[in-house]
């Protein structure tokens, strides 16, 4: 526990927040979250993965979030609930120092256009630039070094960490979190070739992000060529993700690191894309599709379910032999077809 921490809660308050059954003193206070192995008497810990059950009996935590089946092994007070990881997620925000910090106002080194509309309790960090026509709603935090392009709109209680770039005409919903280095509204990759060189296509659309969207560091969401690139509500985007122009992503999707989505692809609601997944352009993924890591999708997926492509890792020698076999598959299939036909005719 941090001795300087000003944040603390009673176990009764925390149990009420997550609708947990408390076994222990409701007035006992905790001031931090910690792992089972690192926690002290003033800390709250959690057990959400059976792999860490071995650490429960020896923990020094003041209290533990856990599933009822593990209660008998807990040496301290505990908050019992069916989904301890979800409970941990909800309580983690109570202990976040950024979430509990009061606004520091507009830094004197920030540049804010005279006609920009700035709401109440907005913080704008040093060296940030807010261009003409921008609207920033109440409770937003714009970190140092951010650039907010002309006519962009940011919904209430959103947070832009340091050095986020919003090009012109970008709309961000409420309670968004944009991490350092992400770029929203850059030009889509649009060019026409005349036989000798490339002619750039002006990207005339924008980008719209829904409410409760989070975008990881160094991710890019390109503006539309004509209409907007649209990201739905509660979409979670990891770091180093590329979303091309005119992509549409439905509510509740989650994209892990290094996902790449080519232009004009439509992803339905509640889809999960694992790390390194690539989606070709002009595809449609229906609701409830899960793509496992490092898969390449080149055709639309119109039925919900789990999809994979590629091969798992294996010793290099075996992989090289299999690579040779891959090249022979077409010939083998043709020979097998001829053999089956000869058997039928014989």
Q: Known catalytic residues?
A: 245
Q: Among residues 286, 168, 182, 178, which one has the least CA distance to residue 228?
A: 168
CA separation for the pair 90, 53 (Å, rounded): 21
CA separation for the pair 38, 305 (Å, rounded): 39
CA separation for the pair 341, 241 (Å, rounded): 49
Joined tokens for residue 17 = 């927040």
The answer to whether residues 246 and 268 touch, using CB atoms and an 8 Å cutoff, is no
CA separation for the pair 140, 157 (Å, rounded): 5
Joined tokens for residue 129 = 């630039």
Q: Among residues 15, 21, 55, which one has the least CA distance to residue 35?
A: 55
CA separation for the pair 292, 18 (Å, rounded): 31
Contacts of 316 (CB under 8 A, 6+ apart): none
Tokens 């012109």 found at: 168
Contacts of 181 (CB under 8 A, 6+ apart): 163, 164, 217, 218
Question: What is the separation, in whole angstroms, between the first and last Cα of the chain?
Answer: 81
CA separation for the pair 343, 218 (Å, rounded): 59
């Amino acid at each position: 526990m941090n001795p300087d921490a000003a944040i603390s809660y009673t176990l009764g308050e925390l149990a009420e927040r997550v609708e947990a059954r408390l076994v222990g003193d409701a007035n006992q206070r905790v001031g931090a979250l910690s792992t089972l192995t690192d926690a002290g008497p003033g800390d709250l810990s959690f057990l959400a993965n059976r792999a860490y059950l071995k650490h429960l009996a020896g923990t020094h935590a003041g209290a533990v979030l856990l599933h009822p089946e593990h209660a008998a092994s807990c040496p301290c007070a505990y908050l019992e609930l069916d989904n301890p990881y979800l409970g941990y997620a909800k309580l983690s925000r109570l202990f976040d120092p950024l979430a509990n910090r009061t606004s520091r106002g507009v830094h004197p080194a920030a540049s804010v256009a005279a006609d920009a509309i700035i709401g109440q309790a907005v913080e704008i960090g040093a060296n940030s630039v807010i261009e003409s026509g921008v609207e920033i709603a109440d409770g937003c935090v714009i970190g140092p070094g951010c650039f907010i392009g002309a006519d962009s709109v940011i919904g209430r209680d959103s947070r832009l960490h340091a050095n986020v770039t919003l090009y012109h005409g970008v709309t961000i919903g409420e309670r968004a979190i944009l991490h350092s280095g992400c770029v929203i509204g850059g030009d889509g990759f649009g060019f026409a070739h005349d036989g000798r060189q490339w002619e750039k296509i002006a990207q005339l659309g924008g980008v719209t992000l829904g409410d409760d969207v989070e975008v990881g560091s160094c991710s890019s969401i390109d503006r539309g060529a004509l209409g907007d690139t649209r990201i739905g509500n509660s979409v979670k985007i990891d770091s180093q993700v590329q979303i091309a122009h005119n992509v549409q992503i439905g509510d509740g999707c989650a994209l892990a690191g290094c996902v790449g989505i080519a232009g004009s692809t439509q992803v339905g609601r509640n889809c999960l894309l694992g790390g390194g997944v690539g989606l070709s352009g002009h595809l449609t993924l229906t609701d409830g599709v899960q793509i496992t890591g490092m898969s390449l999708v080149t055709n639309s997926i119109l039925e919900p379910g789990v999809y994979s492509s590629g091969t798992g890792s294996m010793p290099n020698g075996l992989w090289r032999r299999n690579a040779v076999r891959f090249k022979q598959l077409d010939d083998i299939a043709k020979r097998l077809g001829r053999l089956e036909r000869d058997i039928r005719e014989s």
